[in-house]
A and B are shown apart, each in its own frame.
Chain A
């Protein structure tokens, strides 16, 4: 008799996580492509206005990395859904795993993706300003270029947290859809339905939720809010996918 191999949870999660870093390369190439597209959009300016009287003319353009961040958030949301799909899940189950290690390694992967996404998003924001400054003949009247290191660090951390929040949301949506396929149609319809229904009564859902997270001035409180929300989203995903059958 072959002696039984003993495995522990942490070890399997680690192996699954490393396996994902190697096999989900497509996730990161899509990030690069998306951020490049976002950069191109941003080069023309993300917002602006102008006015003048007589010979005097004023043009105001804002150049920021916001589009890049929005694209990155979209990217992580979609990939959060994607890694719950059959194709990705079944790759894991060809090797040693159970549903818990599968979910935990997915969460670790999402964290890594958020880290990479957040850092590159901020970096491309800086890159954007550099490009404008050196290559385009546009003299900035006010430049916010000289931001302090500590501001950059906060910026990066906040972006990572945003990205992770939306990654977790995507993961929950994906897990729900895997549980009940029709949710792929019901969820978006319900989301926009509620949005418009509330809006018609002057209740701005997105604004309300947005204010709760994005208008938070204390960084610590903001971190706590985001991590708690992500945690709840992920625990729900973990619970509902724990009876998921594979190789159906």
Chain B
């Protein structure tokens, strides 16, 4: 069964097309990483899925319902982001209590364990928490709510490395115990990639790639060697990224659809490309990168 289905989904905000003809489906009980550059439309997409925003055109289904104003979607979906707001007149502990009234699958034991593990004070007010602490509290809500569709939009904002690691581990353990559909968007793809089953890469509001993380890891390959040899080798290949190293050597990323041994035999160094680097290369608007901005300058 598909938990999420989008067909030709578009969202216009003024003259900006935040989403543009986006189509994809998400299978139940998978962890999907939503990847893309800033402004690619990740947050817009997630807010439409959670029923917060409505689409301009196209079709969106969550649990086979139109999410905007659907109570079923609201009761079975939770979107954790740094915009979550909670009443100032309730303490953190009272907020957990309120959440347990609303979410039928709420796991109070897990919530309380995480609450004390992360050293929260019951009497604190959400608004007075630091950025990292707010994010940490929000993910407690997100995990304990046990919603069939759990969405994290940049959940680790402001968290230090140790807490981020704890969160990823908590998320995985809870997922193993209670499989559900999870979508997570993150700038730290290298940190979350091991947790993911699938990756949805969007660029300028469109689907760019949707494949398993293992396929993404093998999607492309990096070639390093003498520019002349590399260039000769490239003739029929799809170049994803290229940059020169020093005077006569090049690093080129191409689609991984050939026998590496032949390249190695030519003296070309073959290396895997990390998914996070690859998604940057794939979504660079133009060929080249920051270096081309400075191309007019030459240092001697």
In their complex, do chains A and B touch, with some C-beta pair under 8 Å? yes
- Known contacts A15-B102, A245-B54, A246-B52; is A2 also within 8 Å of B87 by CB? no
A26 on the B face (CB < 8 A): yes
Query: Does B28 have its Cβ within 8 Å of any Cβ on chain A?
Result: yes
Q: Are B180 and A1 in contact (CB under 8 A)?
A: yes
Closest to A245 in B: B53
Residues of A within 8 A of B69 (CB): 98-100, 242
B51 within 8 A of A: yes
Most chain A beta-carbon contacts within 10 A, residue among B51, B71, B89, B105: B71
B86 proximal to A (CB < 8 A): yes
> Which of A87-95, A106-114, A135-143, A145-153 contacts the other chain?
A87-95
Is there contact, CB below 8 Å, between A1 and B28? yes
Taking a contact as CB atoms under 8 Å apart, the answer to whether B89 and A96 are in contact is no
User: A231 to B152, alpha carbons, bound, how many Å?
Assistant: 40
The interface residues of chain B lying within 8 Å CB-to-CB of A9 are: 71
The answer, among B85, B94, B104, B147, for a CB contact under 8 Å with A94, is: B85
Choice from A1, A3, A25, A248 contacting B89 with Cβ under 8 Å? A25
Chain A 173-189: CB-based contact to B (< 8 A → 1; otherwise 0) = 00000000000000000
Stretch binding the partner chain, chosen from B74-82, B185-193, B204-212: B74-82
Interchain CB contact (< 8 A) of A98 among B1, B71, B180: B71
What is the bound-complex CA distance between A9 and B52, given in angstroms?
A: 18
A246 contacts across to B, CB distance below 8 A: 52-53
Stretch in contact with the other chain, from A16-24, A46-54, A60-68, A71-79: A16-24
Q: Which residues on A sit within 8 Å (CB–CB) of B57?
A: none
B269 at the interface (CB under 8 A from A): no
Whether B178 is near chain A, meaning CB under 8 Å from some CB there, is yes
Q: Within 8 Å CB of B89, what residues of A?
A: 22-26
> Which residues of A229-248 have CB atoms within 8 Å of chain B's CB atoms?
242-243, 245-248
- Find the A residue at minimum CB distance from B97: A22
Chain B, Cβ-Cβ closest to A4 = B76
Q: Is the CB of A1 within 8 A of B75?
A: no
Q: Are B54 and A15 in contact (CB under 8 A)?
A: no
Q: B28 contacts which chain A residues (CB < 8 A)?
A: 1
By the criterion CB–CB under 8 Å, are B85 and A91 in contact?
yes
Most buried by A among B85, B86, B94: B85
A101 at the interface (CB under 8 A from B): yes
In angstroms, Cα B88 to Cα A24, docked, is 9
Q: Does chain A have a CB within 8 A of B271?
A: no
A224 CB-CB contact with B under 8 Å: no
Q: Which residues of A contact B101 (CB under 8 A)?
A: 15, 18-19
Nearest Cβ on chain B to A88's Cβ, whole angstroms: 8
- A91 and B52: CB pair below 8 A? no
Chain A residue, CB-CB nearest to B87 = A23
Closest to B94 in A: A22
Which chain A residues in 171-219 approach chain B with CB under 8 Å? none
- Is B5 in the interface zone, CB < 8 Å from A? no
B168 within 8 A of A: no
B residues near A99, Cβ cutoff 8 Å: 69
* Complex contact A87–B63 (CB within 8 A): no
Say yes or no: is A33 at the interface (Cβ < 8 Å to chain B). no
- How far apart are A147's CB and chain B's nearest CB, in angstroms? 37
Q: At the interface, yes or no: B90 with Cβ under 8 Å from chain A?
A: yes
**A236 CB, nearest partner CB in chain B, Å:** 18
Interface residues of B (CB under 8 A from A): 1, 28-29, 47, 51-54, 63, 69-72, 74-76, 79, 81, 83-87, 89-90, 94, 98-99, 101-105, 141, 146-148, 178-180
Task: List the 10 closest A-B pairs by CB distance, nearest first.
Answer: A23-B87, A95-B102, A90-B85, A5-B104, A2-B148, A7-B75, A98-B69, A96-B102, A245-B53, A96-B75
